Structure 1
Amino acid sequence: MDLDYLRAHPETIPRLVEHQRIRITPLGGAKGGRVERWTLDDGTSLFAKVTEEPNAALPAEGRSLRHLAEPGVARVPEVLTAIPEMLVTAWVDRTAPTEAGAEEFGRQLAALHASGEPTFGAETDGVLATLPLPNTPGPDWPTFYVEQRCEPLLRRARDAGALTAEQASTIESALARVAAAAGPAEPPARLHGDLWSGNVLPGRIGTVDGWWLIDPASYGGHRETDLAMLALFGLPFLETVLAAYDEVSPLATGWHERVGLHQLFPLLVHCVLFGAGYTARTVAAAESF
């Protein structure tokens, strides 16, 4: 049993695991399950997320990975299976980030975004971490961003007590300004959707080196949202990434001033998931535009 067999017969993977035909090395817990390194008879390593409580998150992640791989312009691990019980992908051997890798990644990300989407949103709803991600298409990006991204999270954060009534009111006022602050209209970009630095993995699969995209929640959105997310928690050689991106696909004037606008969505996600520790930064992002 080797990688080619699993590619040809992905439906057999759960049975092979059950009968201990794959060597499993536990790597720790994850939300709703655990992560593992699997080793096949031929020595090939695979990455697996496994849960005892089947859910929609793992199939959604698999769909997003395949969607990002479709244009063939970015490094995305191959998906072997994505079912409610497990997600299995190629294993990425981590390497140290380099400036050359950052430059290549910036160019690839620009090409990925430029591959485009038919609309702002997606055909199916997604999952971000443990949160439902509504993807009902909108007529334009500001409408989609407010109605499908920020407003549902604002309500959840307020109801959970992560935001006071006054703080929620400040953010509501900011959402009323999104259309005016959004800058020039752009076509829908094919987004990663959760592009913080932890989901960009410098490494190698086989003989292929690069910066790999993992754990996405892909949809059609504004390309500046992915770029703002990269800056949220810091990325090695970020300026190199942005310069290479801008060379391939020049960014609209004033994009620096819109970083807070695009960071508002992921910061609201963090308010819902982790509580009031992200409140001050979320309000500051809203006030920035």
Structure 2
Amino acid sequence: MFKNNGLERGLREAIASFLDEDLGRGDITGEAIFPATQQGSAVFIAKETMVTAGIEQIAPLVFTCRNPEIAAQPLVADGTRVDNGDLLLRLTGPTRDLLAAERVALNLCQRLCGIATLTARFVEQVQDLPVVILDTRKTTPGLRTLERAAVRAGGGHNHRFNLNDGILIKDNHIAAAGSILRAVAKVRAGNPNRLPVEVECETLAQVEEALAAQVEIIMLDNMAPAMMAQAVQRVRGRALLEASGGVNLENVRRIAETGVDRISIGALTHSAPARDISMEMV
């Protein structure tokens, strides 16, 4: 999931802050009951069907950030479909530290497994069609790297990571600039790296204006499937077409069948329900 050393360092720092938030000055319950020398074992157990994310690296990182003596053995790879009762992770180490890190690790894994599971459901709806399911920047502040990895674990793909990662001219840019043509001209003048230009369009007239500006990607924003199909016919491969806005599990296949190249879905990260995972001492 995370191979970059700098990225892992940043994750360790973030997780350390999560632990500090939860522990305060210390776990007064666990420290009163268990001496520092007492060793214990625990397992993570799936309590419902889900697609896993965060089990391979994030949960072990939480526990080892709390105490490097904790040994964490993932029992499934991220992206695995598991059922109620399946074991996900085995832990051994000081009992008080296992319990002190439990809640942060579970909170993160339940959140990430929820995202992976919801993403997998969207991907399954369109798996036989030539379309890509994308996330958006509608992520939890501070958790974007983790949530985007969970989207990948569910079989989805990532849109631009941040505002520096790609050019997307949205409705407010167009309104402030005066037109799509003006906004595209200005962004190309200030785009020495020649990044692809994407423009958000709400009408077929805007699609025609985006084509006249020769943009590389056109986002069809909150269009009905019938209008999307018309846009596909007008564009005829001259730009990539991305559908966005109001996408759900009931309409995603109908949208994909219009012929768009990709579908971006904010709900993957902002509305995914957490999955039920428990930690049990052995």
TM-score scaled to structure 2, two decimals?
0.22
Please tell me whether Structure 1 or Structure 2 has the larger radius of gyration of its CA atoms. 2
TM-score scaled to structure 1, two decimals?
0.22
* Structure number with higher relative contact order (C-alpha < 8 Å, ≥ 6 residues apart): 2
